[in-house]
Amino acid sequence: MEAKYLRDPQDVLRIALEWCDAGKSIAIATVVRTWGSSPRPVGSNLVIAEDGIFEGSVSGGCVEGAVITAAKKVIKTGQQAILKFGVTNDEAWEVGLACGGEIEVLVERVE
């Protein structure tokens, strides 16, 4: 059997589709913009299911926890969210990127 391999980010999206097909409610997080040094490029995906399981990444592990928390809310409300990390501002996100970069992440529910 020849295995079919997909390249990142399709391999992560394929997992998202498998979860959808299995009846899970899921959200997809995507890196929209990066400033300075950041571990994952624009277009990188993290997929999150309502039960908290996840695959992929939007950073080197620095902000995934916060994205997953936000994703659970997005799955519940259906309202997409845009999160910024690494910026000094008064947003509720108190996690930052150790590398000193900044990233913006779109979190959307799969309908």
DSSP string, the chain: -PPP---TTHHHHHHHHHHHHTT--EEEEEEEEEESS-SS-TT-EEEEETTS-EEE-SSSSSSHHHHHHHHHHHHHH---EEEEES--SSSS-----TTS-EEEEEEEE--
By CB under 8 A, is residue 20 in contact with other proteins?
yes
By CB under 8 A, is residue 94 in contact with other proteins?
no
By CB under 8 A, is residue 82 in contact with other proteins?
yes
By CB under 8 A, is residue 11 in contact with other proteins?
yes
Q: By rule CB under 8 A, what string of x and - marks binding of each residue 30-69 to other proteins? A: x-xx-------xxx--------------------------
Q: Is the peptide bond before 9 cis (omega within 30 degrees of 0)?
A: yes
The residue from 5, 23, 88, 89 that contacts other proteins (CB under 8 A) is 5
CB of 16 or CB of 97, closer to other proteins: 16
Interface residues toward other proteins, by CB under 8 A? 1-11, 13-14, 16-17, 20, 28, 30, 32-33, 41-43, 80, 82, 104, 106, 108-111
